[in-house]
Structure 1
Amino acid sequence: MFFTALSRPWSTTFPLNQSSKMSLTAKDKQVVTTFWSKIASKADDIGADSLSRLVTVYPQTKTYFSHWKDTSATSPQVRKHGITVMGGVREAMGKINDLTGGLLTLSELHAFTLRVDPANFKCMLLVVAIMFPVDFTPEVHMALDKFMAALARALSEKYR
């Protein structure tokens, strides 16, 4: 995945102690899964655009991809990795009721092999808001933001 410990914009919005208290309600899960069903067909585009924005907005994250000459959303490397990232999100959608337990293998991969902290999902929220302006309501925004924070916590479980 493409997220790093170097930039955590959600922590400026929700301090760690506050975001860790937020949990997904049944309503949040329903909102997220309904929204996902609307955007899933564009997941590859969302992933590529999100990753491209990430390395632009948070240049320190480019250290993980320094071997890529082109970090635009149309770059083959960015597109391929964006697809991988969204595959992880797709997997998380299927395990929304137990993200920590369900994503243990991905958490171990990030902690022990990739050594990348998966904490930066704000670029993805921005991309889906741009691509789906009518569907990205305040209710969807809140539920998806909580889901992404919960996903980041689950993926960084093995760092603790």
Structure 2
Amino acid sequence: MAQSAEDKANIRGFWENVRGNTAETGREALERTFLSFRTVKTYFPHCDLSPGSAQVRDQGRKVIFAMTDAVDNMDDLPTVLSALTDLHTHKLYVDPVNFRMSVLLAPGPQHYCDHVQSVPMGFQPAIHTSMEKFLDSTSAVLTSQYR
């Protein structure tokens, strides 16, 4: 799904807030994923998945870095995500249903606030819609080799 110029601006603007706090954002996102999609834990049998653990923080940081690459190169997602797609498809055998990431980035207003307007950016309808489109596109690329 192609993003409009407005979508791209919304995504980049929102992501600037994420980019500044990768460790904490990644940890929280992964913890929410483990709570919402408990089967995801099966892909981490060797990790300490307790809230706040170093391994959860490190894996969350990896997710945020990968998504940052996708945001920075959203016009060429298949190329940017090709190594990640191959890894998940051919080595890790991750069920493609686990790539649905909207819960990952449903931030609390304490993290992503437009201080000029004092409006939680993660909850503005236009930004939410733009991020959903982007995450749908990202998910489609990540699952493309499963078809």
State TM-score, norm by structure 1. Answer: 0.77
Report what 2:99 is aligned to.
119
The residue that corresponds to 1:135 in the other structure is 121
Q: Letter of the 1:126 partner, please give it.
A: A
2:100 is aligned with what amino acid? N
Unaligned runs of 5+ in 2: 114-119
1:95 maps to amino acid: N
Amino acid at match of 2:138: L
- How far 1:37 moved relative to its partner? 1.5
Q: Is the 8 A contact 1:125 1:145 kept in 2?
A: no
1:115-134 superposed Cα distances (whole Å, 9 cap, x missing partner)? 11351212223235563252
Q: How far apart, CA to CA, are the structure 2 residues paired with 1:132 and 1:105? A: 29
Q: For the structure 1 residues 32 and 39, does the alpha-carbon distance in structure 2 shift closer, same or farther, using more than 3 Å as the test?
A: same
Note if contact 1:46-1:82 (Cα within 8 Å) is conserved in structure 2: yes
CA RMSD of aligned residues (A): 1.8
Distance 2:85 2:61 in 1: 18
**Structure 1 residues without counterparts, runs of 5 or longer:** 1-21
The answer to whether residue 137 in structure 2 is matched with residue 150 in structure 1 is yes
Structure having greater relative contact order (Cα 8 Å, sep ≥ 6): 1
Q: Give the ranges of 4+ consecutive aligned residues of structure 1 lying more than 4 Å apart after TM superposition.
A: none
How many residues are matched? Answer: 138
